[in-house]
Each structure stands twice: as structure tokens, then as C-alpha cells.
Amino acid sequence: MSPTRPIFHRKALAEALVRDLAGESFADYSSGMFLAAPRRTGKSTFLRSDLAPECEARGWLPVYVDLWENREVDPAELIAGAIGQALSEFDSVARKTAKKAGVEKINLLRTLSWDFSKPQLPAGTSLSKALDVLHQVCGKLVVLIVDEAQHALNSESGVNTMFALKAARDHLNRGGSSPDALRLVFTGSSRDKLANLVLKSKQPFYGAHITPFPLLGRDFVEFLTGVWNARLADTNQFSADDMEYAFGLVGRRPEMLNALLTEVSVGLGEASNLGDLLRTGVLNHQAGVWSDYESAYNDLSPLQQAVLEVMGERVMRKQPFTPFAEQTFKDVNRKLELAGAEANASTPNVQKALDVLREKELVWKASRGEYALEDSGIAEWLTRQEKREQ
Ligand SMILES: Nc1ncnc2c1ncn2[C@@H]1O[C@H](COP(=O)(O)OP(=O)(O)OP(=O)(O)O)[C@@H](O)[C@H]1O
Ligand SMILES: [Mg+2]
């Protein structure tokens, strides 16, 4: 059985974040809101189904762009394209209005000389100017939501776009036509990666804080239990406690939980046995759910595995990863010895290992040189592995 997947709405969370953006709470997000949560935990779903509608309800204009939507396209173009798309919608509305207001708006839009059929900003037009015009024609606070924002750091033009957004924020919120014209929301699946936008003084959003995006909670688990149980016989029901336990095991990822539930209801037995199946290992959740990590890991050389494990440990301990530090070599060598391999960590071979890890998209390097895990979920998986081996 595989029920269609209804969305669980997180209205209270959306309302709270909107209040934060409005400056009604203690938190100050006027320089930008940075939300981080691991992969597949529901960030994009929340932004599109809850946060954007809540911004609209508040009378704001949300503009959403996912930098991962098309990896072939430069993030700079994607961001400019999303703003262009929003402008073009006002362009066509303004054209339909014969009234004076319509003409004024068209004139305003014309100052951009933007060809709305193309996703690029015309040469010489800054994002700041485009966002300013957008704010003026819509007459609302513009909330630019950049999903997977860390991808902007992969290219020089992406980094420049981030600086341009910062300039736009400063221009619009201080000197612009009204004091409160633009809010920026950035999300990312790696806290380490997002940190590259805010941690150093040379980075565009230096000084902003990264907020952990709340993972789906017990309320989601209860919602999902209801969805599944409604389709099962009265005598064959999942218990919310077992579901909660399973959801925790899979790092609070809805798809992985659904995969487990499908496995149970398709063949492994009664829904009420879910907890037992998980606890006794009959339901081989690790094999099914973590299999991507496992096969990626098994394809690596001992040195690459050791480097990845050390990175994972740093993530779990919230420490920075310094690839060529003496301590890193020591830790890598210790892992190599444990694996019965030659303990030969050195700058050139750790560098080579990192290059391979990057090619395999397990590790990521900011254009300014810092390394981070592509998906922090792998750090959890590595920790579990280690515990099992002890
Ligand atoms: N509130 C929700 N209700 C029901 N299902 C959800 C909810 N949030 C997420 N999901 C499901 O979880 C999966 C991952 O969601 P989503 O793509 O939003 O996560 P993400 O964190 O943006 O992932 P990625 O890191 O790949 O960008 C999807 O299959 C989605 O349908
Ligand atoms: Mg996403």
C-alpha cells in the first residue's frame, strides 16, 4: 500500500517566522534569515506550502527560487530570473490596467529595460535596482526566499550575486523608497555550507546568525499515523509511538519513514509490529534507508573513508574541519590503523582524497576554500556505523 502523500501544514511555524521577519520578536532578521536543516527533511515543502502563503497573507510579496532546481544554470541567473519573473507578472497586470496607475507602473518597469521573456538581467541593471522597482510596483514588502542558497558559493558569479543581494538589502531598507522593502530568507541543507555566507568578515552576510530549521515533530508523526491507519484494517494499525521511534531512526525524513511503512505493510507483517520489527532489526532499516550512504562509503579507499569519518566527527562535535592540520592527520591515521591500512596521511594525499570526495559529491568546497560535508546526514550514519562496530 502506498497512500498518496498529503502535506502536513506547519502554520504555527510559518506564523512565527513571519513575525520574526516583521521584527515583532526579539530576533533580528533584518540582515537576512538563514535556516539550515539536513537533506530531505522538508525545507522546500515548508517554504512553498507554508512560508510563502503566510507571507502573502501578511500582504507581502514572496519570491521563491531554488538554486538546486536546475544545477546546470548559474545561481546568479536563477536569482535574476526569479526576480524577472515576478516583475513580468506585474508588467502584464499593469498593461491590462488602462488607468493612470497602470501607466505609471509600466513607465517604472521600463526604467529597467528588462526583456521579461529572458531570464537575464540586462547589462548594467543591478539586482538592487530590479528589487527596488519590484517593491515599488507591487507596493509591498518583498521577501526573497533563496532555497539551497549555499550553491551560490560554487561560482564566482554566484558569490557576486550574494554581495549584490546584500547591497540591495542595504539600499532598499535604509535609503530606498520606504524603510522596509526587502527581506531575505536563505535555506541550506548544510549548516557548514551556509556558514560560509556569514562567518567571515569578507563574506557577504557577515554577522548574521544561522538558525536551525525545526525538523518535523511529533505532530507530523501523529498526522502521518492517521493517514496510514485510515487505509488499514482496524485490527492492523500503526501506533504513534512506534512511528515516532522509526521517524527518529531515519533522521526525521518523511520519505524514509514512508519507505519503512510501505515495507511493513507490503509484506513484513502487522502494522502493530513496527516497533518490534525495528528494534529487533528484522526490518533492516539501515540497509534500506541508509543504503545510499553505505554504497557511497563502500566505494571509497581507506584513506578517503578515514578523511570522511574525521569530517563527520567534526560535524557531530560542531568543530571546524581543518584538512591539513597536524591533529587532522593524526585522527585520519588513527582511523587508517583501525582499518588495518597504511597510516600515511599527509597534505598531498589528504588533498587527493578530498578531491575524490568532492567529485563524488560527498564533500563540498566553497569557492573560498573551506570544506564541508555535502549532506550532514552522512555524519549521523557514520556515527551509527561506528557504534555498531564497537
Ligand atoms: N510537511 C510535510 N508533509 C508531508 N510530507 C512532507 C512534508 N515535508 C516534507 N515532506 C516530504 O518529504 C520529502 C522531502 O521534502 P522536501 O523536498 O521539502 O525536503 P528538503 O529538505 O527541501 O529536501 P532537499 O534537501 O532535497 O532539498 C518530500 O517527499 C516531501 O513530500
Ligand atoms: Mg529542498
User: pTM of this prediction?
Assistant: 0.81
Residue 333 pLDDT > 70: yes
The residue among 288 and 320 whose pLDDT is bigger is 320
As assigned by CATH, the class of the 293-389 domain is: mainly alpha
The residue among 1 and 238 whose pLDDT is bigger is 238
Determine which residue's CA is closest to atom 25 belonging to ligand 1.
39
Whole-number pLDDT of residue 246: 84
Cα of 42 from ligand 2 centre, angstroms = 7
When pLDDT is averaged across residues 21-31 and rounded to a whole number, the result is: 86
Sort 1 into a burial class: Cβ within 10 Å, 0-12 / 13-18 / 19+.
exposed
Ligand in nearest proximity to the CA of 46: 1
Residue 2 pLDDT > 60: no
Determine which residue's CA is closest to atom 5 belonging to ligand 1.
7
The Cα-based distances of 46 to 40, 61, 245, 255 in angstroms read 11, 17, 23, 15
Cα of 363 from ligand 1 centre, angstroms = 22
Pocket lining: 39 vs ligand 1, CB cutoff 6 Å: yes
The 10 Å Cβ neighbour count of residue 219 is 11
> In whole numbers, what is the pLDDT of the chain averaged over residues?
85
Report the Cα 50 to chain-centroid distance in Å: 15
Helix, strand counts (H, E) of the chain:
18, 7
Residue 163 falls in which region: left (phi positive, over 0), alpha (psi -120 to 50) or beta: alpha
Pocket lining: 189 vs ligand 1, CB cutoff 6 Å: yes
Ligand in nearest proximity to the CA of 189: 1
CA atoms lying within 13 Å on the CB side of residue 224: 28
Any idea which fold 11-212 has?
A: Rossmann fold (3.40.50)
CA–CA separation, 105 and 90 (whole Å): 8
Tell me the pLDDT tens digit for each residue of 273-285: 777 776 665 565 5
Determine which residue's CA is closest to atom 19 belonging to ligand 1.
42
Cα of 178 from ligand 1 centre, angstroms = 36
Q: Are 165 and 207 in contact (CB under 8 A)?
A: no
When pLDDT is averaged across residues 22-44 and rounded to a whole number, the result is: 89
Pocket lining: 49 vs ligand 1, CB cutoff 6 Å: no
Pocket lining: 40 vs ligand 1, CB cutoff 6 Å: yes
Pocket lining: 187 vs ligand 1, CB cutoff 6 Å: no
